[in-house]
Amino acid sequence: MHNGAVKSAGTLASLLLCGALLAGCSDDGGDPETPEPTDGASSSASPAAQEPEQEGVPEGTELTPEGTDLVLGDEAVVSYEPRQETVGVLEVSVTRIERTTFRASFAGWQLGASTKRTTPYFVRATLTNAGETDLGGRQVPLYGVDSKDMLVEASTFKGRFKPCPSRPFPKAFAPGATHEACLVYLAPAGTTLAAVSFRPTQEYVPITWTGPVSKVRPVKRKPRP
């Protein structure tokens, strides 16, 4: 995975967009290095997770079968290993896919040439810890799927990004806790974001959510005193 540096024109705070669409890093106040696409954002991408272990699933929990196709708003119950010998169980509902633009949502940020050729999307999901393990600080295990059937990793940010925080689970994400996630995906040039998938390993047949793409919700601004 390569990291791309994107800087705020106003604060010069570093915004780190993770994903193989971006490469290079510049913190010297000059123009960011030109990022180049790599194969890391393709369907060959696979997180460092292991096959789920059934013995870590609470008794009576019915898991959604691999390969299930869902629509936005549907819930899946899934298990996976975020780290070796640690089983996580989640209730996952992808509720909304929003298409946005850099002009609308990234105003004030300097973006590399390759990044500007992508199309940004926000994905909103509700996740509940239905297992017995605290998953605090772990990445949300969801991928975008573009119109060429390639996986796209969620972008992460170093610093605050108010339109769509795209953060991992909270530091404490105990059994029973619920997390309202907003994830940023950059669809490669010439593609659109077609679906969202849960795919913890390359061998896992993904569970996918599809549905109508909405316009991005405007950021609510506090009125000036």
Domains within the chain, CATH numbers bracketed: 41-215 (2.60.40.1240)
> Which residues, in sequence order, are CB contacts of 174 under 8 Å at separation 6+?
129, 134, 136
- pLDDT for res 27: 35
- pLDDT for res 97: 98
Nearest Cα neighbor of 212 from 225, 188, 194, 192 is 194
Per-residue CA distances from 205 to 43, 86, 225 (Å): 12, 20, 53
150 neighbors 41 (Cβ within 8 angstroms):
yes
- pLDDT for res 221: 54
Nearest Cα neighbor of 53 from 81, 95, 16 is 81
- pLDDT for res 7: 35
- pLDDT for res 91: 98
- pLDDT for res 168: 92
- pLDDT for res 152: 97
Is the pTM value of this prediction over 0.85?
A: no
- pLDDT for res 38: 31
The letter for the amino acid at 17 is: L
- pLDDT for res 11: 28
The parts of the chain modelled with pLDDT lower than 70 are 1-55, 218-225
CA distance 199 to 196: 10
- pLDDT for res 224: 54
- pLDDT for res 222: 54
